[in-house]
Amino acid sequence: MKTLAYTLVSADGAASDAEAGEVDDDARTRPARWMVFLHGILGTRANWRTIARRFCEARPEWGAVLVDLREHGDSLGFPPPHTVAACAADLDDLATALASGGSGAGDAPGDVRIAGALGHSFGGKVALAWAQRRDARGEPLDALWLIDSCPGPRPLRESDEPLRVLSLLERLSFPMADLATFKRAVIDAGFSEPLAAWLALNLERLPSGERALAIDPSAIRALLEDYGHLDLWPAFEHPPRASVYHAVVAGRSDVYAPSDLERARRAAAADPHVRVDLIPEAGHSIHVDAPGTLLGLLAET
């Protein structure tokens, strides 16, 4: 069984960084509960390392499981279909492996009880779909965090940045001579230098020194299309009694239309297990724009 790549983080340091079983187990006290951190489209588990570590320092009874979702980072070669449901099933497999310390979890020591999930953007809808699966079999999460991730459908437009980026990656010729050549191509296409540097994390170095694209743009496009069509509002609006579902909305992002924010707030007003917070000064990358505010909210978990 193919298992997602992950990193375990605790207040005492990284307990395990697993692509193929690499371990650095110097945690003195294993946390009682673990929170899965899920990145957005074209991201990797490293995106949330700093926030996860600071969360664990603030709440040492929690550990963090940083995950590369399928066809991202080190979680490559997963079979289709590439859907949100498939991503959620991947998390089931990882959670089982981590709990038992069995095959697929590297040399993780077992007894890693996942009790929460945090997802940014695309990862938020994956987290919500996974929470729904767990609830259906009587294993609800204690906490679910949607970080600027709307539960409802979001029809994709070719003008949206993720699709523009994918179209560029599909057009570019690989391998490229070096990182600088790739970054220049991205900038020349009208994207920012920080975005070019971030996208460069999806390249792999060949023995020749050239850089190839490690990810499959067609798989990423399939994931995005499924994400755009999927409506999980009912799951968000009716969480299990044992859970708290928390939506954190970026005020400078267009992920939530005004009607979406109003719907989320109605859900929170109707059910104490639903909470909604707006961070007015933050753009879509809340963990970058307002890390202190976000950590203050997470510390209440």
Q: Which tens digits make up the pLDDT trace of 206-221? A: 999 999 999 999 999 9
pLDDT average, residue stretch 53-77: 97
Q: Does domain 6-153+230-298 have CATH number 3.40.50.11540?
A: no
Tokens of 13: 């340091």
Please tell me the distance from the alpha carbon of residue 113 to that of residue 96, in angstroms, as a whole number: 9
Domain layout of the chain by residue ranges: 6-153+230-298, 161-221
pLDDT of residue 12: 80
What are the CB-based long-range contacts (under 8 Å, 24+) for 173-180?
174/211, 174/212, 174/213, 175/206, 175/208, 175/210, 175/211, 175/212, 176/203, 176/210, 176/211, 176/212, 177/210, 177/211, 178/209, 178/210, 178/211, 179/203, 179/211
pLDDT of residue 108: 56
pLDDT of residue 175: 97
pLDDT of residue 13: 65
Cis peptide before 140 (omega within 30 of 0): no
Flag whether pLDDT at 204 surpasses 60.
Answer: yes
Look-up: residue for tokens 């040492």?
60
Flag whether pLDDT at 107 surpasses 60.
Answer: no
Look-up: residue for tokens 């900038």?
187
Flag whether pLDDT at 174 surpasses 80.
Answer: yes
pLDDT in tens, 8-41: 999 986 555 555 333 334 444 689 999 999 999 9
Cβ proximity of 74 and 4 under 8 Å? no
Q: What is the mean pLDDT of the chain?
A: 92
Between residues 155 and 192, which one has the greater pLDDT? Answer: 192
| 11-25, 121-135, 234-248, 275-289: segment of lowest average pLDDT | 11-25
pLDDT of residue 24: 38
Please tell me the distance from the alpha carbon of residue 60 to that of residue 56, in angstroms, as a whole number: 5
pLDDT in tens, 69-90: 999 999 999 999 999 999 999 9
pLDDT of residue 109: 56
pLDDT average, residue stretch 188-193: 96
Where residue 17 falls (left for φ over 0; alpha for ψ -120 to 50; beta otherwise) is: beta
Flag whether pLDDT at 1 surpasses 70.
Answer: yes
Look-up: residue for tokens 């755009």?
228
Flag whether pLDDT at 195 surpasses 60.
Answer: yes
Cross-sheet strand order for the sheet of 33-38: 13-18, 6-10, 62-67, 33-38, 114-120, 143-147, 244-250, 274-279
pLDDT in tens, 252-299: 999 999 999 999 999 999 999 999 999 999 999 999 999 999 999 999
Flag whether pLDDT at 53 surpasses 50.
Answer: yes
